Amino acid sequence: LRTEGFFVHRLHRIPNPPSVASVERVQTAERAAQLGKIIRRQPIPDDLLGDTAPFRQYVAIDGADIVGRVRSLDAVGATWCSSMYVEPSHRRRGIGQALISKMLHDDRARGSRYSVLAATHAGALLYPRMGYERIGTLLIFAPRSRKPS
Starting at the earlier edge strand, list the strands of the sheet with 55-62. Answer: 22-25, 55-62, 65-75, 78-86, 114-119, 2-9, 133-140
- pTM for the whole structure: 0.90
Cβ proximity of 19 and 94 under 8 Å = yes
What pLDDT is attached to residue 20? 84
Q: What domains, with CATH codes, occur in the chain?
A: 2-140 (3.40.630.30)
What pLDDT is attached to residue 96? 94
39 sits in which H/E element: helix 29-39
* Low pLDDT (below 70) residues in the chain: 148-149
